[in-house]
Amino acid sequence: MVKILLDPSMYHPHLSVAEELHKARELGFDHLELSPRADFHEWHHYPKVDRHLIAEVTQAMKDTGVSIGSLNPVFDWASPDEQERQAQVRNWRRLLEIADALEVPLIATEFSGDPNRARQSEAQFYRSMEELIPHFEKYGLECTIEAHPYDFVEENDRAVQVIRGVDRDWLNYEFCFPHAFHLGQGARDVREMMDYAGDRLKHLHIADVFDHTANVGNRYIMNPPGVDARIHQHNEIGNGEIDWDASFAYLREREYDGTVSVCVFGWEEEADAINVRMLERIEKELGQGGSRA
- Reading the chain (293 residues) residue by residue, the pLDDT tens digits are 899 999 999 999 999 999 999 999 999 999 999 999 999 999 999 999 999 999 999 999 999 999 999 999 999 999 999 999 999 999 999 999 999 999 999 999 999 999 999 999 999 999 999 999 999 999 999 999 999 887 999 999 999 999 999 999 999 999 999 999 979 777 678 999 999 999 999 999 999 877 766 655 666 667 776 777 767 767 899 978 889 999 999 999 999 999 999 999 887 789 999 999 999 999 999 985 434 44
Instruction: Find the CATH number of the domain harbouring 287.
Output: 3.20.20.150
pLDDT reported for residue 268: 78
Q: Is 258 exposed, middle or buried (0-12, 13-18, 19+ CB in 10 A)?
A: middle
Domains of the chain: total = 1
**DSSP characters over the chain:** --EEEE--GGGTTT--HHHHHHHHHHHT-SEEEE---TTS--TTS-----HHHHHHHHHHHHHH--EEEEE-----TT-SSHHHHHHHHHHHHHHHHHHHHTT--EEEEE--S-GGGHHHHHHHHHHHHHHHHHHHHHHT-EEEEE--TTSS--SHHHHHHHHHHH--TTEEEEEEGGGHHHHTTT-S-HHHHHHHHGGGEEEEEE-B---TTTGGGTSS--SSTT-S------BPTTSS---HHHHHHHHHHTT--SEEEE---S-GGGHHHHHHHHHHHHHHHH-TTGGG-
pLDDT reported for residue 289: 45
Provide the residue count of the chain: 293
Model's pTM, two decimal places? 0.92
- The Cα–Cα gap between 81 and 84 comes to 5
Cβ atoms of residues 232 and 209 within 8 Å:
yes
Q: Which domain holds residue 80?
A: 3-292
pLDDT reported for residue 291: 44
| Rg of the chain taking only CA atoms, in angstroms | 18
pLDDT reported for residue 10: 97
- The Cα–Cα gap between 285 and 252 comes to 8
